[in-house]
Amino acid sequence: MDAHFVGIDVSKDWLDVHILPSGESVRVSNDSEGVARLKGQLDALKPERVALEATGGLETLVTAELSAAGQPVVIINPAQVRSFAGALGKRAKTDAIDAAVIAAFASAMRPELRPLPDAETRLPADLVARRRQIVAMIVAEENRARAATAKQTQKSIKRLLAALRRELESVNEDMDAHIRKSPLWLVRQDLLTSMPGIGPTVARTLIAELPELGSLDRRQVAALAGLAPFTRQSGVWRGKSFISGGRSSVRSALFMAALVAIRHNPVLKAFRDRLVAAGKPKIVAVTATMRKLLTILNAMIRDQKPWQPA
């Protein structure tokens, strides 16, 4: 019997579903009733993969329900699907076409099944993301305050900044309370923050948004963070290597951590200084330090051992 692959295009109101190899398409509502109907169909079908794009939260309901029902759900990167569609010559874009492309991607690439985050993991991840949003709003308002000249505008900005800072404090307290109730999070945070240069904010970002930390090898975890260098070469021509993709929030956190570690962590400072002395551009040296930092943290979580300078 041929294996079945299901692609689901998620929108606010609808789930467009395409099934291979039959080519059957169906649309259900993106709510509990529609997901229950879809779940019944898939239970009878027993698909090899059920693939969805990451859509910023709209996929949460269907992902949680299908995963709880034992379906092999995978969340795939939208950029990979777009590139795959381009390779197929698919220029038209509708929800039904997108679902068919996602199903074709799942059939051709067989994306690896990974455990999906449970409710205990999603809550702190949501809090980390919300904290990042509030910090961005505070920075934006502070920039506006420097440019504002009218007193009324300055007063408005000050009121909003005060409210945002109160909300940031509230989110931090919620995060602290959750971590105190979760032994796993508490242990991981203590392990990560034992390394000079890693503070609670960076540690929580890594735990929430890179849950694979400690379960992958150094190359795989670097690729997830977007820190694996891509080589550009053709014949005798060799271009510069570069990094691309990955989880931007994790990479941003590691960038700030690397800047601190270069000043306060003797091991990483010496590593970065050797690269600069060898003629590497400073930004390249910082990127390499980020990758080295991530490799060490990955080993610390894997081995359950705190930072050891030796």
In the chain, where are the structural domains located?
A: 5-109, 119-181, 211-303
Residue 47 is predicted with a pLDDT of 92
Residue 258 is predicted with a pLDDT of 93
Distance (Å, rounded) from C-alpha 61 to C-alpha 32? 8
Residue 225 is predicted with a pLDDT of 87
H or E segment to which residue 233 belongs: strand 233-234
Q: Considering only CA atoms, give the Rg of the chain.
A: 23
259 HSE (CA, 13 A, CB side):
7
Residue 70 is predicted with a pLDDT of 85
Query: For residues 194 and 215, is the Cβ–Cβ distance under 8 A?
Result: no
Q: Which phi and psi angles does 231 have, rounded to 5°?
A: -90, 140
Look up the CATH architecture of domain 5-109.
2-Layer Sandwich (3.30)
Distance (Å, rounded) from C-alpha 131 to C-alpha 176? 12
Residue 178 is predicted with a pLDDT of 81
Q: How long is the chain? A: 310
What b/e readout covers 69-81, taking b as 16+ CB neighbours within 10 angstroms? eebbbbbbeeeeb
The four Cα atoms 273, 274, 278, 284 give a dihedral, to 10 degrees, of -60
Q: Which phi and psi angles does 213 have, rounded to 5°?
A: -55, 125
Residue 115 is predicted with a pLDDT of 66
Residue 96 is predicted with a pLDDT of 85
Using alpha carbons only, give the angle 244, 246, 252 rounded to the nearest 5 degrees: 90
Q: Helix, strand, coil: what percent of the chain each, to 5?
A: 60, 10, 30
Residue 238 is predicted with a pLDDT of 60
And the tokens for 77? 């990167």
And the tokens for 145? 């305050």
Q: For the chain, which residues score pLDDT lower than 50?
A: none
Note the pTM of the prediction, 2 decimals.
0.68
Residue 81 is predicted with a pLDDT of 86
And the tokens for 256? 């700030």
Q: What is the largest CA-CA distance in the chain?
A: 73
Amino acid at 150: A
Query: For residues 197 and 258, is the Cβ–Cβ distance under 8 A?
Result: yes
